[in-house]
Amino acid sequence: MSILTQPWPWYITGPLIGLMIPLLLLLGNKAFGISSSLRHICAACIPTNVKFFKYDWKAESWNLVFALGMIIGGCIAGVVFKNPNNITLSETAVTSISTLGITNFSGLIPTEIFNFSSLLTLKGFILIIIGGFMIGFGTRYANGCTSGHSIMGMANLQWPSLVSTCCFFAGGLLMTWVILPIIMKL
């Protein structure tokens, strides 16, 4: 039982994520990638004449079913087999994150910032709404996300994916080291 409630080390998690690639290829000839599902949601749910969303999204419905599965899997792992303890972060990370003004380290995300009432604060609005917007706009513009580029693309030796992955990290470093400390003071 404890293997189902305890967090898994990287050498279990990473290889299992990697195995998604051959499983998707062998079971359905599908390339691993999640961000396309955001496009399919637009195509399926938003009545629009925009050319980018005029395609047969039903032919790609496997991607939406996969996303639905992830919600269910997240529920089983995060609710049914919930880890009763806080995440074991490195001590230096706890110190750094504390200096951002975060005191509550329970759960997977800092509930002090990510909650419904913080949507009405400038800080919460920027991190939740603008942050989400950047994920959707950026991944489609880059034609992939961490799964499609950093894992699938890199595993398939695609150099554009390497460029994208470097840019994902460059953006993340800029946010973490320069912009986030400013946002957290708002």
> Is position 57 an interface residue for other proteins (rule: CB under 8 A)?
no
Q: Which of residues 101-120 bind other proteins (CB under 8 A)?
A: 105, 107-110, 114-116, 119
* Residue 113 beta carbon to other proteins: minimum distance, rounded to whole angstroms: 8
> Is position 134 an interface residue for other proteins (rule: CB under 8 A)?
yes
C-alpha to C-alpha distance for 73 and 70, rounded to whole angstroms: 5
DSSP type of residue 103: -
Q: Are 13 and 3 in contact (CB under 8 A)?
A: no
Among 122, 170, 185, 186, binds other proteins (CB under 8 A): 170
> Is position 32 an interface residue for other proteins (rule: CB under 8 A)?
yes
Nearest residue to 35 (alpha-carbon basis) of 176, 164, 175: 164
> Is position 96 an interface residue for other proteins (rule: CB under 8 A)?
yes
C-alpha to C-alpha distance for 38 and 19, rounded to whole angstroms: 23
Among 1, 56, 59, 79, binds other proteins (CB under 8 A): 79
> Is position 75 an interface residue for other proteins (rule: CB under 8 A)?
yes
Task: Give the tokens for residue 6.
Answer: 């305890």
SS3 content of the chain, % helix, strand, coil (to 5): 70, 0, 30
Among 15, 56, 84, 120, binds other proteins (CB under 8 A): 15
